[in-house]
Amino acid sequence: MSTNGRHAWLSLTPEPERELPVSVATLRAGDRASADAVELERARIERLVVRARRGGWLAYLGEVVELIERAGPSPDPDVRRARAVALEVVRNHHGLLLGLPGRAAEQTAPERSKLDAAAQLSNGGRS
User: How does pLDDT run across 90-111, given as a tens digit for each residue?
Assistant: 999 999 889 888 888 899 999 9
H/E element holding 66?
A: helix 54-71
Compute the distance between CA of residue 105 and CA of residue 127 in angstroms, rounded to an integer: 21
Per-residue pLDDT of 30-78, as tens digits, reads 999 999 999 999 999 999 988 878 889 999 999 999 999 999 888 999 9
pLDDT at position 126 over 60: no
- CB-based contact 87:119 (threshold 8 Å): yes
Compute the distance between CA of residue 34 and CA of residue 36 in angstroms, rounded to an integer: 5
Compute the distance between CA of residue 31 and CA of residue 10 in angstroms, rounded to an integer: 30
pLDDT at position 125 over 90: no
pLDDT at position 124 over 70: no
Q: What is the pTM of this model?
A: 0.86
Least confident piece of the model among 1-10, 14-23, 99-108:
1-10
Confidence of residue 120 (pLDDT cuts 50, 70, 90): confident
